[in-house]
Structure 1
């Protein structure tokens, strides 16, 4: 069997120094054997802060560009997480060929030794596996929940209610169940460190660029599942993830509109408008139950300030349009929408 080609992608948005750290960890973990070719692409997602020049200089100074081992691609606009990664996937390998496997690595994710080889070996050993995600932990060594069930109406109610009896009743719909301790098939995995099979991408298409940020991994995994591909969580493939560096999520006082846009798009596109409306009502009902409990127990709600109000306002004010569909596009040439 011919050894596969591997493309590692690190997407940068105004985090140049951290991106270089992530790229360095990924380069150190590139397998020396079992692959015909392994390359890394850094995409600067139109940072506009001098990041691209800094990255270009660092690549040259460190000698990373030799043999096309590392390339920098400058996006002409910031289309979001999916659009930025799609640029690299469409560009493909340095010779223009489509990669057999693509490893998406966040700019604030640092791979442990052996992470890439473990992910690659798992996909090679399981022909129906199209997606495999890493075990992700924080700098405090605590695990991050990165393996999930697909969102449903029942899951929306359970997640918002945050009530023991409700969770027990709807346990099969909990979106974020306890992490498996061994390799396991799951519905979807987070994109901090996830490897994708090129054959699958050529069949189902790349990330849907209608999502600016959030739900794009969920959407991709659902399309893969509907096409018969499996998604796995692999705990032995490990990495450290700082989290929310480029988005500034840790400092958010309110959820941004693009989160609500992405949530609605996911439900309406994949399940229809009626389902999206029921999911909205379930989320609002669960949130109301949670607030009632907090009022009676004199506790503070566990959600972002003004979340329910913002969710309802978004539903009432968003533009009415038919959800886009994602077409299959071959990652062969460098372009972007």
Structure 2
């Protein structure tokens, strides 16, 4: 049985679309769907799930369809396949475009990572929050690590000051620039923020209708920062709601972050997404200054690390790769995605 493009069913108009973008993480998606199944998707506040398989090429789509059939989730979950791995924004936009064409358009769209497990009551908490706060266009959930520890962060927009602090890693500088740090530790109550993690982010339908879809020029990373900035510029509020809990296994869907034994080299798309963000929202001159601030700070840190014989926890070739992708001289770049690894690459 296949879910039709019009998801309306007797007694249940989908108020929420859950969009999950998969790339070779089918077992994690099944675990995520299993956690969503306990949220009573066909109840009064029902939701639908579209899993977008970004051309995994490893049988993920068939695996997911079989799991959905075996578990009896066909009434509320379905898989879409894309012809290419176009990145996080691209995959989410496939689901959002379809939902915006439904006769009964969902009230909100929940962008949810495949490497997440939804805790009980999260759907009701997020949907209820938007109902109580009409100017809230985006709300992010509280995040728990896979060891059960809370990860209580939302974010400020990046700046020249935050780039220097991020590079130099000196306690005195961090204290002096406390109000400019990107990562902002949040309290136990709901608060506004500049942007929230795209691992679990609910967007009101009207935001997409007003500001457009996510920018597919970002292959991965900075796309949620960009989207939240566009929403705030249009007058919408961005909130962090810790009452809704989602467990996130960091790095499982990207391989960039997480607790790896061997720290991988930072992929090209991370640098290019960062570059795109600064140039798009601040211009090339500001972007160049932000690059210089990070390069200066990071160079100081590397020298201090050697003198103090501190452990090297940086990705290999980080400084050289950063400089190679700098706003200072990199031309506009379109990601070429490696078919085997799924990572963007640059022809040097």
- TM-score when scaled to structure 1? 0.89
Larger CA deviation: 15-24 vs 211-220: 15-24
Contact 1:30 1:116 in 2 (8 A): no
Contact 2:165 2:174 in 1 (8 A): yes
Q: Distance in 2 between matches of 1:321 and 1:256?
A: 14
Deviation at 1:179, TM superposition (A): 2.5
1:220-268 deviation per Cα after TM superposition (whole angstroms, max 9, x unaligned): 0000111111111111110111122132234552100000000000000
Q: Distance in 1 between matches of 2:104 and 2:279?
A: 35
1:14 to 15, 18, 24: 24
Q: Distance in 2 between matches of 1:177 and 1:296?
A: 30
1:280-302 deviation per Cα after TM superposition (whole angstroms, max 9, x unaligned): 00111110121232233221344
Mark the CA change 1:58 to 1:4 in structure 2 (over 3 Å): closer, same or farther: closer
Aligned pairs for 1:302-317 (under 5 A) are 302-315=313-326
Q: Would you say how many aligned residue pairs link Structure 1 and Structure 2?
A: 318
Deviation at 1:318, TM superposition (A): 3.1
Deviation at 1:63, TM superposition (A): 2.2
Contact 1:148 1:186 in 2 (8 A): yes
Q: Distance in 2 between matches of 1:280 and 1:241?
A: 30
Is the aligned partner of 1:23 residue 2:33? Answer: yes
For structure 1, the residue ranges without an aligned partner over 5 or more in a row are: 323-337
Is the aligned partner of 1:173 residue 2:185? Answer: no
Is the aligned partner of 1:61 residue 2:70? Answer: yes
Contact 1:156 1:279 in 2 (8 A): yes
- TM-score when scaled to structure 2? 0.86
Aligned pairs for 1:221-260 (under 5 A) are 221-249=228-256, 250=260, 252-260=263-271
Runs of 4+ in 1 over 3 A off after TM superposition: 30-34, 93-97
Q: Distance in 1 between matches of 2:238 and 2:277?
A: 18
Aligned pairs for 1:144-183 (under 5 A) are 144=151, 146-183=153-190
Q: Distance in 1 between matches of 2:103 and 2:22?
A: 22
Q: Distance in 1 between matches of 2:132 and 2:43?
A: 16
Root-mean-square deviation (CA), in Å? Answer: 2.1
In structure 1, what is the equivalent of residue 345 of structure 2?
none
Contact 1:9 1:85 in 2 (8 A): yes
Larger CA deviation: 83-92 vs 293-302: 293-302
Aligned pairs for 1:79-90 (under 5 A) are 79-90=86-97
Q: Distance in 1 between matches of 2:122 and 2:33?
A: 14
SS in 2 for 1:127: coil
Q: Distance in 2 between matches of 1:317 and 1:173?
A: 27
Higher RCO (CA-CA < 8 Å; seq separation 6+): 1
For structure 2, the residue ranges without an aligned partner over 5 or more in a row are: 1-12, 335-348
